[in-house]
A and B are shown apart, each in its own frame.
Chain A
Amino acid sequence: MSTPVLQARDVSMVFGGLTALKNVSLNLDEGKIVGLIGPNGAGKTTFFNCLTGLYTPTTGQVLLKGAVLPGDPAEVTAAGVARTFQNIRLFPSMTVLENVLLGRHVRMRQGPLASLFHGPSFRRGEAAARDRARELLAFVGLGKVEDELSRNLPYGDQRRLEIARALATDPAVLLLDEPTAGMNPQETEAARQLIFRIRDLGISVVVIEHDTKFIFTLCDQVSVLVQGELLVEGTPDVVRGDPRVVEAYLGKPPEEVEAELQAVQEGETP
């Protein structure tokens, strides 16, 4: 078996007295979608922050294609890990297109002098970046609004724009933090299809979601994080059936959970 594209080894994160993550490991194989679930405050977002260099893990390592990732978010992005944010963090008063172009920043090479003089190669690079950005906007389904200010987009479109901006960095790995939060069922379905299409581009994806139905029908592997510790990992079927998950994560009476899982299974095979 080849090495996983993204590997977290025993990542721990301590804030003062609070241990937000304790020895969490995760393997993401190329072309796969991994789900990360867990109750509020379990440490999921903190884990993403550790993966992307926003936090330096107290202990542990993160490797991309076998190489240790640098500790700086900008360099992590350059190395090929892109992300979205749980509370949408677009550049609100830049246009839709400019947001995506900013994502291209790390793949563009124009230095200060080229930016000053706008020579032919600058213009070629700029045009190429624009083309690529438009392509990505079309890919996520935002083809018509490139000149809108991103803050004026509806909520669901803002989430899609964040994905387009992340894709613009040409990532090997995409980390999505609750990509369907606040979406209606149609938008959620569209998001699922979008994630599949991203996977089909050869990009490996990690998704945080609270919507278990969404996760179980989307992911190849699911990890469950509870109070900073990895509780269970495995295929959706394994995780779904695990009584510890039922108890710790869902925290509902078993019969209600059964009903929910039933519904999920029915939803899968209509």
Chain B
Amino acid sequence: MKAMARPLIIVGSIVVIIGALLPWATFVLNDGPYPDKATLEFFDAPFGLSSFRLYLEILGLAGLVFCFVPLRDKIRVLKAVGWGALGVALINTLFIIGDGGGFGAVTVADGVTAFGGIAAVIGAAVLLYGAFQLPAEPKVVINPKLPFWAEWLILLVAFVALLLLITETLTAGGHSGVSDPYIGPLFLSYLSAAGALLGVLWAVGVTKWISDMSERHRIFSIVVLVACAVAVPFTSLGNDYWMTITANIGVYAATAIGLNIVVGLAGLLDLGYVAFMGIGAFVAANLSGAVAAEFGIRLPFLLAAIVAGIVAGLFGAIVGSPTLRVRGDYLAIVTLAFGEIFVRVSQNNIGGLTGGSNAIPNIPDLSLFGTGFNDSLTIGGVQLPSGVLYYFLIVVLVALVMFVFGNLKNSRIGRAWIAIREDEDVARAMGVKTGKLKILAFMTGATLAGLAGAVFAHKLATASYDSFQFNQSVTLLAAVILGGMGTIPGAVLGAALLFVLPEELRQFSDYRLLFFGLALVVIMRFRPQGLIADRHRRAELADQDVTGESLDDTVIKEPVAVAGAKEAGA
């Protein structure tokens, strides 16, 4: 079959290209504001509806070009192209079938034929199959020696490109998401194509090269990243809708990074983590001067946020203390129980601090120099959308949380956490006070969640038990695992995906959770280390089959009971 690789790729690519140009639907899909154009035949239909065709053309051409140009690690490059093409073709074909009235819609109906979708799917499958027949090659590593200013320039370009990619991703198919019936497939097509692009970059070693570079110029990268984040309101995301969404992503990203300390670094499974965010939110709400608040005082926000963080941190220490005795699954159950207790207590307003099912509404808007955080703002003649100050506040929050995570990870304490995750008994035998450090992990994570909660309450102007239910904990955990355990970009990406996808997939209302679950399963199957993997975990999971367990034998695995009991006594 090896000899067939090339012909298969060529044929597949050509079929993809032709398929993209053929009609895809036998009749006009009847929903949407421009029914006459809604045949999925145009490149320039409403909201760039048919941009999927453009992607397919590009991917098909890429398949041809990459097949002929000399290239190292062709197999990975072409696999990325193939997967991307297959994704785009399948998504749109399935959409037409599902939304446009069955199989006839993509084949023959009323004497009209439309085989574009079928052709593209088959072509992409052939292309992908051909790619799999290519000889395996070692991973390409590129590491040219460049002067530092050239590296800065490349980083700058890379980050700006990343920013554009993100804004494009988020706005793929329109802004508000409600008016466009095709936003779902548009967004997913875009995601597939962007995924293929990133896959190719990864295969030729570019992503690794750039991430190594940003590691080398850490400070510079941080500055550029912050600048990019600050620039967001000035891009096409600069409207009320996206300010709210991005602010939400930011709050959850900050919380996810905090959770990442507990789960990703120290390896302690916490299923009730969102409760700490809730505690922070309620503390801040009660100190905000809201009418429904228990205390009639209004602390300055900064102070209230600090108090919220401290209180959440104390609860973190309390919840973390069972880690002295319980491990693994049992700890997960303890934290799960804590989360549930928190929800019940706040739902029933036990203690009178949570407003029960009435929540604590009307938390006063924050203000700075007389400008309310919910007002819009004009800087240098540019009108920024309302809520932009909250957005900036949340950028600061995320930056702060990143700082905490990054510094702790690269310290004596962070190493000890990772050692606990890897092998707790040995960590202890090497002198790590595992009990104290595990509680510290819980405390730190909880404090960060509490801070995020304080911001969250003000942004929403409400603190309600409803926002801190079990499913939020699970989503956060999924964000951490999906994005990549133990990494900052991973947690941010995970939070972004998990809290944006539901928005973009609104169209599939009934199926979106199904989709979501499916995507998670697929990612975990093919990339268990998460999208942006920690160097350590990547290696750990990537060559699992090769080295496997091997290192752990019995000896001190058995006397866990003995050792555990002793630790508790100490």
Complex interface: chain B residues within 8 A of A86 (CB) = 553, 555
A52-B429, A73-B429, A88-B551 known; A102 vs B404 contact (CB < 8 Å):
no
Complex interface: chain A residues within 8 A of B559 (CB) = 49, 54-55
Q: How large is the interface on B (under 10, 10 to 19, 20 to 34, 35 or more residues)?
A: 35 or more
Q: Let me know if A118 and B430 touch, CB within 8 A.
A: no
Q: Let me know if A72 and B422 touch, CB within 8 A.
A: no
Complex interface: chain A residues within 8 A of B419 (CB) = 91, 94, 102, 105
A78 to B570, CA, bound (A): 15
A86-B555, A87-B553, A115-B411 known; A169 vs B539 contact (CB < 8 Å):
no
B175 is an interface residue with CB less than 8 A from chain A? no
Q: Let me know if B552 and A112 touch, CB within 8 A.
A: no
Q: Mark A116-129, 1 if CB is under 8 A from B, else 0.
A: 11100010001001
A91-B426, A93-B422 known; A85 vs B555 contact (CB < 8 Å):
yes
* Most chain B Cβ neighbours within 10 Å, of A54, A71, A88, A169: A54
Give the residue of A85, A92, A116, A169 whose beta carbon is less than 8 angstroms from that of B407: A116
Minimum CB–CB distance from B100 to chain A (whole Å) comes to 49
Q: Which residues in chain A, 64-121, are within 8 Å of chain B measured between CB atoms? A: 71-74, 77-78, 83, 85-95, 98, 101-106, 108, 110, 112, 114-118
* Most chain A Cβ neighbours within 10 Å, of B407, B430, B553, B555: B430
A45 to B553, CA, bound (A): 13
A244 is an interface residue with CB less than 8 A from chain B? no
B547 is an interface residue with CB less than 8 A from chain A? yes
Q: Mark B524-562, 1 if CB is under 8 A from A, else 0.
A: 000000000000110110000001000111111001001
Complex interface: chain A residues within 8 A of B431 (CB) = 73-74, 77-78, 103, 105-106, 169
Minimum CB–CB distance from B562 to chain A (whole Å) comes to 6
Closest to A116 in B: B407
A54-B556, A110-B412 known; A102 vs B427 contact (CB < 8 Å):
yes
Q: Let me know if B566 and A91 touch, CB within 8 A.
A: no
B180 is an interface residue with CB less than 8 A from chain A? no
Complex interface: chain B residues within 8 A of A71 (CB) = 566, 570
Minimum CB–CB distance from A204 to chain B (whole Å) comes to 19
B375 is an interface residue with CB less than 8 A from chain A? no
Q: Let me know if B413 and A115 touch, CB within 8 A.
A: yes
Give the residue of B404, B554, B566 whose beta carbon is less than 8 angstroms from that of A116: B404
Q: Let me know if A101 and B555 touch, CB within 8 A.
A: no
Give the residue of B412, B434, B553 whose beta carbon is less than 8 angstroms from that of A74: B434
Give the residue of B428, B433, B552, B562 whose beta carbon is less than 8 angstroms from that of A87: B552
* Most chain B Cβ neighbours within 10 Å, of A52, A88, A89, A129: A89
A27 is an interface residue with CB less than 8 A from chain B? no
Q: Let me know if B539 and A152 touch, CB within 8 A.
A: yes
Q: Which residues in chain B, 54-109, are within 8 Å of chain A measured between CB atoms? A: none
B36 is an interface residue with CB less than 8 A from chain A? no
A151 is an interface residue with CB less than 8 A from chain B? yes
A129 to B559, CA, bound (A): 32
Minimum CB–CB distance from B427 to chain A (whole Å) comes to 7
Complex interface: chain B residues within 8 A of A77 (CB) = 429-431
Complex interface: chain B residues within 8 A of A92 (CB) = 422, 540, 547, 551
A165 is an interface residue with CB less than 8 A from chain B? yes
Q: Let me know if A151 and B540 touch, CB within 8 A.
A: yes
Q: Let me know if A93 and B537 touch, CB within 8 A.
A: yes
A102 to B429, CA, bound (A): 11
A91-B426, A102-B415 known; A74 vs B440 contact (CB < 8 Å):
no
A56 to B420, CA, bound (A): 21
Minimum CB–CB distance from A145 to chain B (whole Å) comes to 14
B425 is an interface residue with CB less than 8 A from chain A? yes
Complex interface: chain B residues within 8 A of A88 (CB) = 551
Q: Let me know if A94 and B418 touch, CB within 8 A.
A: yes
Complex interface: chain B residues within 8 A of A74 (CB) = 428-434
A149 is an interface residue with CB less than 8 A from chain B? yes
B414 is an interface residue with CB less than 8 A from chain A? yes
B416 is an interface residue with CB less than 8 A from chain A? yes
Minimum CB–CB distance from B405 to chain A (whole Å) comes to 10
Complex interface: chain A residues within 8 A of B407 (CB) = 115-118
A151-B540, A151-B551 known; A91 vs B570 contact (CB < 8 Å):
no
Give the residue of A49, A94, A108, A122 whose beta carbon is less than 8 angstroms from that of B556: A49
Q: Mark B314-346, 1 if CB is under 8 A from A, else 0.
A: 000000000000000000000000000000000
A188 to B523, CA, bound (A): 45
Closest to A78 in B: B431
Closest to B444 in A: A112
Complex interface: chain B residues within 8 A of A110 (CB) = 411-413
B245 is an interface residue with CB less than 8 A from chain A? no
B197 is an interface residue with CB less than 8 A from chain A? no
Q: Let me know if B430 and A151 touch, CB within 8 A.
A: no
Minimum CB–CB distance from B346 to chain A (whole Å) comes to 30
Complex interface: chain B residues within 8 A of A54 (CB) = 425, 429, 556, 559, 562-563
B408 is an interface residue with CB less than 8 A from chain A? yes
Q: Let me know if A91 and B423 touch, CB within 8 A.
A: yes
Complex interface: chain B residues within 8 A of A94 (CB) = 415, 418-419, 422, 536
B44 is an interface residue with CB less than 8 A from chain A? no
Minimum CB–CB distance from A226 to chain B (whole Å) comes to 20
A56 to B568, CA, bound (A): 13
Q: Let me know if B408 and A89 touch, CB within 8 A.
A: no
Give the residue of B422, B433, B537 whose beta carbon is less than 8 angstroms from that of A91: B422
Q: Which residues in chain A, 218-232, are within 8 Å of chain B measured between CB atoms? A: none
Complex interface: chain B residues within 8 A of A165 (CB) = 430
B215 is an interface residue with CB less than 8 A from chain A? no
Closest to B428 in A: A73
Q: Let me know if A149 and B539 touch, CB within 8 A.
A: yes
Complex interface: chain B residues within 8 A of A129 (CB) = 412
Give the residue of A49, A149, A169 whose beta carbon is less than 8 angstroms from that of B430: A169
Complex interface: chain A residues within 8 A of B562 (CB) = 54-56
B567 is an interface residue with CB less than 8 A from chain A? yes
Q: Mark B199-234, 1 if CB is under 8 A from A, else 0.
A: 000000000000000000000000000000000000
Minimum CB–CB distance from B549 to chain A (whole Å) comes to 10
A178 to B428, CA, bound (A): 21
Q: Mark B390-409, 1 if CB is under 8 A from A, else 0.
A: 00000000000000100110
A151 to B537, CA, bound (A): 12
A55 to B430, CA, bound (A): 15
Q: Let me know if A102 and B432 touch, CB within 8 A.
A: yes
Closest 7 CB pairs of A and B: A106-B431, A115-B411, A87-B553, A77-B431, A93-B540, A91-B422, A93-B536
Chosen A-B contacts, 13 in total, with CB atoms closer than 8 Å, are A45-B555, A71-B566, A72-B567, A73-B431, A86-B555, A89-B551, A91-B422, A94-B418, A103-B431, A105-B415, A118-B407, A126-B411, A149-B539
Query: Knowing that A106-B430, A112-B413 are A-B contacts, what are 6 other residue pairs whose CB atoms are under 8 Å apart, sorted by A's residue number?
Result: A52-B429, A87-B553, A91-B423, A103-B430, A105-B412, A151-B547
